[in-house]
């Protein structure tokens, strides 16, 4: 859980370091899938605590997904395999 949280915080910190002018970015879907899988493999198997109002397992999956997405953005589309490219 801590690893996923640290990854999410690092991704948010890096996302805050954006240029002033808008730019076109590309999402590397292959890198995103790999990063998501790595994040999920590092967390404990199964939920730690689920109630009607709280589901930490869903929060953890969401954090892995968000972190993987943020870390998969690329400025140069030529660095991404054609089948993995998505304009953002």
Sheet with 26-28: strands ordered across: 73-74, 26-28, 85-87
The number of folded domains in the chain is 1
**In-domain check, residue 32:** yes
pLDDT of 51 higher than 60: yes
Does any domain span residue 15?
A: no
Residue at 30 is within a domain: yes
Q: Which two tokens stand for residue 20?
A: 């002033």
What pLDDT, in 10s, does the model give residues 23-34? 678 899 999 999
The pLDDT of residue 11 is above 60:
yes
- The predicted model scores a pTM of 0.62
Q: Which residue range is the domain that position 60 belongs to? A: 2-10+24-87
In a domain, 42, yes or no: yes
18 within some domain: no
For residue 87, list its beta bridge partners.
26
Has residue 61 been placed in a domain? yes
């Amino acid at each position: 859980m801590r690893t996923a949280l640290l990854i999410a915080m690092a991704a948010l910190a890096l996302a805050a370091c954006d240029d002033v002018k808008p730019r076109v970015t590309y999402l590397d879907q292959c890198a995103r899938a790999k990063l998501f899988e790595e994040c999920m493999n590092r967390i404990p198997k199964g939920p730690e605590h689920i109630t009607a109002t709280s589901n930490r397992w869903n929060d953890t999956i969401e954090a892995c997904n968000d972190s993987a997405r943020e870390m998969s953005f690329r400025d140069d589309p030529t660095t991404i395999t054609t089948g993995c490219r998505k304009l953002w």
